[in-house]
């Protein structure tokens, strides 16, 4: 009996150790949009503060990626994955900057939807696949692309999402494992149903499930699929307008929820069943940012139209937790602000502080636990910021659309440590892996390190 008990204890200990090692390994990777659990942070990297794209100082490599894509690099060990959409028209128009036009790009030519696996150390393309070829089922905004969603990987499989053109799963050798067609999903403004802006929500992978959030003009939903087979495990309808938000996976050991941003329907869903656990309404009417987690809270924000809130939410919330019109907190919402949240970039919670960057370059720092405003300052000469921040070793990295990268000290006082340029449009959030930074620009993929 003692031997049996000993073996049971040993087996449990091994399971816990394997789980811990897997978690530690995951936190060193950059497996989805904004890295591990979309936090945007990896420390102990010794990243350079200065580089020069002209002289090659601290530039490890630079390669051309054809076509147009706003998807961000994802990395597992030495493999980097990225997507693009190549128009047969020979032109890939892109209008950046701060403007409010709802225009579509009028390009009905055949597009090649391609995926790349690249050696992160050398920039050499290990394999390239054409996932789909055809005329896009929907149009795109003048500031968008047909390859917006960022890939996701678990170290064995990698999934690529092209919205109406389908979800594709490959293994690490480039073999197609399965694909899924969700039909036409037109993501456009809720008050102009004929306008098409393009799909942008990225997939995530956790515990053998692929999660995708599909909010569009029509019957939107959030769903989980088996990463090995593509089998749909659950699908939950969402009473929602079009959004461009990537979901996130919350797991504190007791609670396992999928957290989804939105306008009508910010919410938490049971990871195993898809059942709605809590719901919150009252965001901006064209939400984009991804939920993030820190200090035992869920942070959600957005900004468009009349509302631009930031919420700090208790993970054990249940039911409808929507705030009264005059309230900034309740038993489930720890703190909130009604105006000041960011439209495009996702916040970064680094140390004790939440850093919120708006598209016009205005950076606000809040106490992450209380919501107290610490400072509000402006990045000079920023003519549009779409990419989200990343952070490492006490520094925040902000990339502007015109191609400048500002390194800001992560502190309670505003200080710009350095400004570097990449001489190309930056719409995608950069990645960190090892001792290198990886930037996806309009035309290039660039690795930076000492």
Using alpha carbons, select from 378, 369, 412, 380 the residue that is nearest to residue 394.
412
Burial class of residue 384, CB neighbours in 10 A (0-12, 13-18, 19+)? buried
Q: 88 pLDDT exceeds 50?
A: yes
CA dihedral 363→332→34→224, nearest 10 degrees, is -150
**pLDDT tens digit sequence for 408-437:** 999 999 999 999 999 999 999 999 999 999
Mean pLDDT of the 28-39 span:
97
Share the mean pLDDT of the chain: 94
Q: 332 pLDDT exceeds 80?
A: yes
Confidence bin at 16 (pLDDT 50/70/90): very low
What is the CATH number assigned to the segment(s) 30-449? 2.130.10.10
**Predicted TM-score of the model (pTM):** 0.94
Cβ pair 215, 262 in contact under 8 A: yes
Q: 3 pLDDT exceeds 80?
A: no
Q: 192 pLDDT exceeds 50?
A: yes
Domain spans of the chain?
30-449
Cβ pair 263, 283 in contact under 8 A: yes
Q: 15 pLDDT exceeds 50?
A: no
Mean pLDDT of the 149-163 span:
98
Confidence bin at 24 (pLDDT 50/70/90): low
**pLDDT tens digit sequence for 119-143:** 999 999 999 999 999 999 999 999 9
């Amino acid at each position: 009996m003692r031997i049996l008990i000993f073996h049971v204890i040993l087996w449990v200990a091994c399971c816990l150790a394997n789980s811990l090692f897997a978690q530690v390994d995951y936190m060193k990777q950059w497996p989805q949009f904004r890295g591990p659990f979309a936090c945007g942070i990896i420390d102990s990297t010794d990243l350079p503060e200065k580089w020069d794209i002209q002289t090659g100082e601290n530039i490890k490599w630079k390669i051309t990626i054809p076509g147009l894509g706003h998807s961000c690099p994802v990395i597992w060990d030495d493999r980097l994955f990225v997507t693009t959409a190549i128009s047969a028209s020979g032109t890939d128009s892109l209008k950046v900057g701060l403007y409010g036009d709802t225009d579509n790009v009028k390009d009905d030519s055949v597009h090649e939807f391609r995926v790349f696996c690249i050696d992160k150390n050398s920039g050499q393309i290990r394999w390239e696949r054409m996932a789909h070829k055809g005329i896009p089922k929907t149009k795109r905004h003048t500031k968008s692309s047909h390859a917006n969603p960022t890939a996701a990987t678990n170290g064995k499989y990698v999934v690529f999402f092209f919205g109406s053109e389908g979800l594709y799963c490959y293994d690490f050798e480039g073999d197609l494992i399965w694909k899924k067609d969700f039909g036409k999903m037109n993501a456009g403004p809720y008050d102009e149903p004929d306008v098409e802006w393009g799909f942008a929500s990225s997939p995530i992978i956790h515990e053998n499930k692929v999660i995708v959030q599909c909010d569009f003009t029509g019957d939107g939903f959030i769903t989980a699929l088996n990463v090995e087979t593509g089998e749909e495990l659950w699908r939950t309808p969402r009473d929602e307008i079009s959004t461009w938000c990537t979901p996130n996976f919350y797991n504190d050991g007791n609670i396992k929820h999928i957290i989804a941003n939105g306008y009508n329907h910010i919410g938490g869903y049971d990871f195993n069943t898809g059942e709605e656990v809590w719901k919150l309404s009252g965001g901006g009417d064209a939400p984009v940012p991804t939920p993030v987690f820190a200090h035992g809270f869920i942070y959600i924000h957005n900004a468009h139209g009349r509302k631009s809130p930031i919420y700090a939410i208790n993970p054990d919330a249940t039911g409808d937790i929507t705030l009264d019109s005059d309230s900034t907190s309740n038993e489930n919402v720890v703190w909130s602000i009604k105006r000041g949240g960011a439209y495009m970039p996702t916040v970064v919670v680094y140390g004790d502080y939440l850093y919120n960057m708006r598209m016009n370059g205005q950076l606000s720092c809040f106490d992450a636990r209380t919501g107290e405003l610490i400072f509000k300052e402006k990045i000079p000469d920023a003519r549009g910021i779409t990419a989200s921040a990343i952070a490492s070793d006490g520094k925040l990295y902000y990339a502007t659309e015109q191609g400048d990268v500002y390194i800001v000290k992560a502190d309670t006082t505003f200080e710009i440590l350095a400004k570097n340029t990449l001489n190309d449009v930056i719409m995608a959030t950069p990645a960190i892996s090892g001792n290198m930074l990886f930037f996806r620009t309009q035309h290039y993929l660039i690795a930076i390190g000492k």
